[in-house]
Chains A and B, each alone.
Chain A
Amino acid sequence: MPAKRISEHPVLEFQRGEKFFFDFEGKKIPAYPGDTIAAALYAQGLQKFTESKLLKRPRGFFCAIGKCSSCIMRVNGVPHVRSCITLAEEGMKVERQSAMPDFPDVALPCTPVNEHKIEIAVIGGGPAGLSAAIVAANNGADVHLFDENANLGGQLVKQTHQFFGRYEEHAGTRGVDIGKALAEEAHEAGVKIHSDSTVLGYYPEMTVTVDSSNSLEIYRCKGIVYATGATENFLAFENNDLPGIYGAGGVQTLMNEYGVTPGDKVLMIGAGNVGLIVSYQLIQAGVEVVEVLEALPKVGGYQVHASKLRRAGVPISTRHSIIKAIGTEKVEGAVVQGLDDDWKPIDGTERTVECDIICIAVGLQPDNHFLRLAGCETKHVPELGGIVPLRNEYLETTVSNLFIAGDSAGIEEATVAILEGKLAGAAITEKIKGPSSELTTIKEKAILGINDMREGPYGKRSKKGVNLCTFEGGCIG
């Protein structure tokens, strides 16, 4: 049994509504309200979603959050639909497409283009975006929040573990509950929420285009907070494109958001916090984690997470990496090897690991193409995960009134994302609505909190990175 719907879970409760069916290549596929097409198909054992362009190799989903396009399918005659973020609907007709599908055989009714004038657009409904929207709306701004997923909360929606960090930023609460609380708070604050709405582009000046249920909406804004998070890094090894090789975040989404297990036996690559936490969550969902590999000489994530795994009997092999995946249509195992001090594979240490899922947890990179489109100056800062926008201390970029927060500004963790959201939300509101003592207090507290988080042993690297891309003084222009 490769995949199954989770019925019992120590933390999560999956209240599935009334079952309905859609058509997949002539077969009736059961689904529940809230299922994406990809989740419902995966629960029925489908692993091959599409195929590669030249060599026609099978492709599975990878990221599960609409960022990688590995799962595009033909839905109701329309090709290139991201099945991982498109909700399944009763009677829907879903087909696999090749990488070069036929030109659509349908013409869709043309919908009007609507223009809106708003004060603040917040792009991204994760911890950073929600926090920014809440502060701005509570202080009198007209705030619209856009997220391409059906559910708000960003990556919090799949975090079943309790957060560390600061009490004011929900330490001790499970991530999934923080996400729900923030979403509720945003509703209450009067944030106009547009979920299932993909921001397509930026146009001068301060204009954002949004694909909202197949209509084009144009928002002319006074300011923007950009908080779309990150994308997962990939790893180069032989056969690395087989279905069954997924981002750790993708597996987490499948498992904790849609209640579907990825498979039976998982090999986890990477012992940073994501690798360790997802491994433990796999065990909670009843999946066996056969081994965790880490190329570094020591575990990168928090010891408390590593200890939980060790107690559960999962071996963590440092100075080890994956050499190749075994299988032709899907993962049937992996070859792993020890690494020497120069990260080179040591001859004779190759061994085969039996697994049907390989999870890649080798870091994240900031998702900020939009900012480059908007003309923000950027810089490559390895400490923050890659290319990041330059910003002042209030998180305003080199484009006036365009602010950033969270992982898209540089990879850190959710507590910092919440604090950065508050800071950016207060600073943008101050610029657009005028200063107030309340906003000043929020800004000061957020800066203190961020500095506090970066003082810890895991924050030093981030602090160094942020110093490399923070410019003095106010914004240009």
Chain B
Amino acid sequence: MNEKAGVVIIGGGINGVGIAYNLAKKGYTDVVVLEKDYLGSGASGRNGGGIRQQWSTRENIELAIESTKMFEKLHEELDTEFEFIQGGYLVLAFTDEEITQFKKNVKLQNELGLNSVYISPEEAKEIVPKLNILKVKGATFNGTDGIIYPFPVVYGYARAARKMGVDIREHTTVTDIVTDGKEITAVKTDKGIIETDTVVNAAGGWSTEIAKMAGVELPNRPYRHEIMVTEPFAHFLDPMIISFHHGIYFNQAAHGNIVGGIGNPKEYPGINQRASLWFLRTMAKTLVEFIPNFSAVNMIRQWAGLYDTTPDAQPILGEVPEVDRFFQVNGFSGHGFMVSPVVDKVTAELILGETPSMNIDRLKVTRFEGMDLEKEYSVVG
């Protein structure tokens, strides 16, 4: 006899366990979370932990502001230490176009209630005295941005959800989603069949593959992004430093190590999570350009994860037209972790048929049908 579940969530990353937690908090625990590897084995356990509110589109800014407020309290709610440090984000401009865009961003961010500021290179150097500002043309700074240690958030959610009765299964691979007309009837896994009418696709870099199982085409594509960590040092760097021009971001984590990544513009789509020599060389060279003393620092590990990237670099949320009760929580394009608190709350509300506390209709997949997209420009790494 097949198992039954009210909701099957595919993906044991931050959003999978976060949605499970939010459903359980509302008293709904007939939920199974399926993870093909271990919890946080995808992008949720491979990212740099950045929590940024300085975005260029209204949706991303609103999601990030609300999520940051929630992160500030979440550790108490989950009784887990996340090492959330609000040292700010220093976003550096290297071209005149960036200056124009940054000023526009700050204006919109201020309108939406964020206290970000546009500053001069010299003011940036006051925030990070070791910074080489020779080529820096300007910067924006927001003090309530910060960094978080991602693993304890994933495990904190999972522990709390399990305690309330949610069934979270690791090393269980989804092999098919069975539909009857527009209705979902079951999810097949390598360990058996679970009958359900509601599925959440929170599979990150694998979400397009998962959607296909239900006959749904998503525009997301997985792209490898690489990251590294250095030896630890006594605290010397407050903010996360990022440059869209270089595609670089780096910060000093709570344990003193520098964590950072740089994007390869020539990366092609596909599931590839192996480390590259290109990254090693480019990251080392660029770090030294930003802070010359990095030349005397050892990188101790490098690894890679997947950005689940959409054409407008904004997430895909909510239901799809082809299949009923097939909720999408994917396409985060490299910034899923930082907006997860709101996304998970709203998704839980939608699943239970409640009025969502934030309107996310503009982030539905249907936005890609022929209309002009508003692209998020502030993607890094």
**A103, B231: Cβ atoms closer than 8 Å:** no
A99 at the interface (CB under 8 A from B): yes
**Using Cβ atoms and an 8 Å threshold, which residues of chain B touch A108?**
295-296
**B236, A102: Cβ atoms closer than 8 Å:** yes
What sequence of 0s and 1s flags, for each residue 261-275 of chain B, a beta carbon within 8 Å of any chain A beta carbon? 000000000000011
Other-chain contact of B296, A78, A99, A218 (Cβ < 8 Å): A78
**A102, B233: Cβ atoms closer than 8 Å:** yes
Query: Which parts of B278-304 form the interface with A (CB within 8 Å)?
Result: 280-281, 288, 292-293, 295-298, 302
Contact (A103, B234) CB under 8 Å given A108-B295, A110-B288: yes
CA distance A179 to B81 in the complex (A): 51
B165 at the interface (CB under 8 A from A): no
CA distance A103 to B277 in the complex (A): 25
**A204, B298: Cβ atoms closer than 8 Å:** no
**B275, A203: Cβ atoms closer than 8 Å:** yes
**A105, B293: Cβ atoms closer than 8 Å:** yes
What sequence of 0s and 1s flags, for each residue 97-140 of chain A, a beta carbon within 8 Å of any chain B beta carbon? 01111111111111001000000000000000000000000000
B256 at the interface (CB under 8 A from A): yes
**B296, A204: Cβ atoms closer than 8 Å:** no
A153 at the interface (CB under 8 A from B): no
A201 at the interface (CB under 8 A from B): yes
Other-chain contact of B234, A101, A107, A109, A373 (Cβ < 8 Å): A101
**Using Cβ atoms and an 8 Å threshold, which residues of chain B touch A201?**
275, 280, 302
**A103, B236: Cβ atoms closer than 8 Å:** yes
**Using Cβ atoms and an 8 Å threshold, which residues of chain A touch B295?**
107-110
**Using Cβ atoms and an 8 Å threshold, which residues of chain A touch B298?**
80
**A99, B277: Cβ atoms closer than 8 Å:** no
Contact (A99, B232) CB under 8 Å given A80-B298, A106-B296, A204-B274: yes
**A98, B277: Cβ atoms closer than 8 Å:** no
**A209, B296: Cβ atoms closer than 8 Å:** no
**A107, B292: Cβ atoms closer than 8 Å:** yes
CA distance A110 to B288 in the complex (A): 9
B69 at the interface (CB under 8 A from A): no
**Using Cβ atoms and an 8 Å threshold, which residues of chain B touch A77?**
296
Contact (A79, B277) CB under 8 Å given A104-B293, A105-B293, A107-B292: no
B245 at the interface (CB under 8 A from A): no
CA distance A306 to B101 in the complex (A): 77
By beta carbon, the residue of chain A nearest B256 is A100
B130 at the interface (CB under 8 A from A): yes
**Using Cβ atoms and an 8 Å threshold, which residues of chain B touch A373?**
275
By beta carbon, the residue of chain A nearest B301 is A201
A207 at the interface (CB under 8 A from B): yes
B366 at the interface (CB under 8 A from A): no
CA distance A102 to B280 in the complex (A): 24
By beta carbon, the residue of chain A nearest B258 is A103
What sequence of 0s and 1s flags, for each residue 171-183 of chain A, a beta carbon within 8 Å of any chain B beta carbon? 0000000000000
Other-chain contact of A103, B130, B274, B276, B280 (Cβ < 8 Å): B130
**A209, B277: Cβ atoms closer than 8 Å:** yes
**Using Cβ atoms and an 8 Å threshold, which residues of chain B touch A204?**
274
Chain B proximity of A238: nearest CB distance (Å): 26
CA distance A78 to B297 in the complex (A): 8
Query: Which parts of A201-223 form the interface with B (CB within 8 Å)?
Result: 201, 203-204, 207, 209, 216, 218
**Using Cβ atoms and an 8 Å threshold, which residues of chain B touch A207?**
277
**Using Cβ atoms and an 8 Å threshold, which residues of chain B touch A107?**
288, 292-293, 295-296
**A100, B292: Cβ atoms closer than 8 Å:** no
Other-chain contact of A100, B234, B274, B276 (Cβ < 8 Å): B234
By beta carbon, the residue of chain B nearest A76 is B296
Chain B proximity of A196: nearest CB distance (Å): 16
Query: Which parts of A59-104 form the interface with B (CB within 8 Å)?
Result: 77-80, 98-104
Chain B proximity of A267: nearest CB distance (Å): 33
- What are 13 pairs between A and B in contact, CB < 8 Å? A53-B232, A80-B231, A100-B234, A100-B235, A102-B233, A103-B233, A103-B293, A104-B296, A108-B295, A110-B288, A203-B275, A203-B280, A216-B281
In the complex, the 4 A-B pairs of residues with the closest C-beta atoms, listed nearest first: A104-B296, A107-B292, A108-B295, A203-B277
Query: Which residues from chain B sit less than 8 Å from chain A, CB to CB?
Result: 130, 231-236, 255-256, 274-277, 280-281, 288, 292-293, 295-298, 302
Q: Given A79-B296, A203-B276, A375-B274, list of 19 further CB < 8 A pairs?
A: A77-B296, A79-B233, A80-B231, A100-B232, A100-B234, A100-B235, A103-B233, A103-B236, A103-B293, A106-B293, A107-B293, A108-B295, A113-B281, A201-B280, A201-B302, A203-B277, A203-B280, A207-B277, A216-B281
